[in-house]
Amino acid sequence: MDSQPSCVVVTGFGPFRQHLVNSSWEAVKELSKLGLNSDVEVELRILQLPVDYREVKQRVTRIWEGLQPQLSVHIGLDASAKAIVLEQCAKNRGYRDADIWGFRPARGECLPDGPEVIASEVSMKAVSKRVAVEGVEVTFSRDAGRYVCDYTYYLSLHHGNGCAVLIHVPPLSRWLPASLLGKALQVIIQAMLEELRKPNLEAWFAENSTAAIPAQGNQLGDCFREN
């Protein structure tokens, strides 16, 4: 049996609009100091992405073709958020807001003829319920906002067959410093890696047991369900 990839890529975004310090990248830098602290040997790779549709498209492709990570974790800033938000799915169309160069994707879409929605293999609802981070709430969402974060997520889910996640973080503040966000990311990514391993464990038990294992809910359908 082939060994599982042992790399996790975590990206944050650079400055945009009035956000000269992007909390997503500050959080990723803090995470790199802490490491993943995983019980399985996993290498952490970090990368800053510009808020640039065309450059993101190239870099996401290179991540999946070159590094082939076990999981690609994209961190983005949501200026209006008060909690850390785990995004379940990404949308193909509706990208009308310009990036830092004033560029908008043709027809406002990621991939011509791509599916309207792609869902992550990770259940964000399950992760949000199991993690506890002192000082900040962790919740989940099914609408990632139709900007460069969502665009990045869609492309990463497409190239990675669902083995990608998007986490939106609030702006930095006195009550929410980068150090706390970095620790929160460590805890959340640990839980996500455990969620990803669940189907493998279930398949093993199915092969080695006569007992049936209940199927998980349809995550693509979850994207259209009301909170």
Residues labelled as active-site residues: 87, 149, 168
CB 107 within 8 A of CB 156: no
Give the residue from 176, 49, 179, 184 showing the smallest Cα distance to 167. 184
Cβ within 8 Å of residue 18, ≥6 positions away: none
Structure tokens at 161: 């067959």
Residues constituting the chain:
227
Burial 18-31 (b: 16+ CB within 10 A, else e): ebeebbbbbbbebb
CB 159 within 8 A of CB 61: yes
Cβ within 8 Å of residue 177, ≥6 positions away: none
